[in-house]
Amino acid sequence: MQIKLLLTALSAAALLAGCAHPDLIEPGQSSASVEQELGAPDSRIDHPDGTFILVYSGQPFGRENYWMHFDKDGHFVGKETLMNEEHFKLVIPGKHTKKDVYQMFGHCAQEYTFALQDQTAFMYRFRETSGMAMAFWVQFDLDGVVTETAVTQDPWDHDRDPLFLH
């Protein structure tokens, strides 16, 4: 019963906070107005030509992360959704670090520690085009360098788990 009350409270809070969403940002809006509407971004990616990207994560309960693109004058010009194979391929084992992955994708749903392997992992939740709940994993060694990436079913999704069916 307490779990149902907690879920109801979380749902209500999400609805109230749900008024601001990247899909509602209009082209031409200033980066300041976008930050006012969406809050502080997880990170910022600056390009040599003066354009930049603000990174917003919907994790842990959302299943999408966004790149909000701005021109050199700081006006919004478009967005990209990140939780897809095209963007997962941007993470290169042996090259990228935890800091790089955070800058690209923002905060993850959960960080795991695999003590026996001396590794940690970021887990990002998303939905495949088929609707299946999935997870994108980025594993790191003790120095914080990416060792591998993988896609699995979302471990938080219990829709098809017989232990959670009533």
Tens of pLDDT, residue by residue over 70-86, are: 999 999 999 999 999 99
- Mean predicted confidence (pLDDT) in 99-124: 96
Q: Mean pLDDT lowest for which of 4-8, 98-102, 115-119, 121-125? A: 4-8
Give the residue carrying structure tokens 């749903």: 109
Rounded CA separation 36/66 (Å): 16
Q: How far is residue 42 from each of residues 38, 134, 165, measured CA to CA in Å?
A: 11, 22, 36
In our burial notation (b when 16+ CB lie closer than 10 A, e otherwise), range 7-42 reads eeeeeeeeeeeeeeebeebeeebebeebeeebeebb
Q: Name the band, by pLDDT with cuts 50, 70 and 90, for residue 99.
A: very high
Tokens standing for 142?
């003790």
